[in-house]
Amino acid sequence: MKLGVNIDHVAVLREARRVNDPDILNALYVACANGADQITIHLREDRRHIQDADAYSIMKHSALPVNLECSINRSILNIVTDLKPHRATLVPEKREEVTTEGGLDVFTYEDEISYAIELLHDYIIPVSLFIDPSIEAVEKSKELGAEMVELHTGSFANIFAMLNSSLSHSNHSVKELELPRHELAIRLEKSISDITTAAKHAKKIGLEVAAGHGLNYHNVSHMMSIAEITELNIGQSIVAKSVFSGLAEAVKEMKRLTTR
């Protein structure tokens, strides 16, 4: 399994005080030295964490492939074509969201996504689409010309956390998932089944398969059991663990958990 370490949340901490501490390049070097297979960053339209200068610096100094997540906004795409990352992952984006809340709507925004893929391909940049785990979205991604899909695991992660952690007793409880435990267990099983089915279908029609969003040290084993998934992109949980263990140990532990 390839581990993509997303270092966005190091920049989140830096932007909280708007000083260059922690230095994003230090995070890059530590991740590279301790088991990451690629570096993932998200250049958002609102620049809430990764800045343009970060993206250029990371591309210049990374010894590992860089997976650049971005929206289909044309001004952002122009930066991506200049950066020429090893892969661009097209994701949905809303200014008011805390984090990405779902997969890219490959049906409503078919024309915009098609344009983005063609543009990126003109610059020899492979494209992955961040989608909800459904056969319909997988097939549409193939039709649009993507080489890869990344299955959104946010719903799975929320259900898992409500069932297996103290999330339901916190201020961040997911209200729509405040359900009896047996109901959560049924939903968790269905969520894993949906991801598995989508992954199998994607591989069958010739797409590479990644997964990501909300994955952590407690739930990642469920993704490891799906043979068709060959890459996981994980960030927040690694950076959160690094507060207590240090980033090097946090990356090493996640790499251990994601080694088949």
Q: Is-catalytic flag, 42?
A: yes
The residues, ordered by sequence, that sit 6+ positions from 242 with a Cβ below 8 Å of its Cβ are 249, 250, 251
Q: In three state form, how does the secondary structure of 191-247 look?
A: HHHHHHHHHHHHHHCCCEEEEECCCCCCCHHHHHCCCCCCEEEECHHHHHHHHHHCH
Q: Which of 9, 49, 69, 152 is catalytic?
A: 69
Six-digit token string for 152: 């959104």
Q: Is-catalytic flag, 172?
A: no
Six-digit token string for 153: 């695991």
Q: Which of 49, 152, 201, 213 is catalytic?
A: 213
Contact 74, 113 (CB under 8 A): no
Helix ranges (H only) for the chain are 8-17, 24-33, 52-61, 74-83, 110-122, 135-144, 154-164, 181-204, 220-224, 236-245, 247-257
Q: Is-catalytic flag, 169?
A: no
Q: Which of 9, 42, 49, 222 is catalytic?
A: 42
Catalytic residues: 42, 69, 213
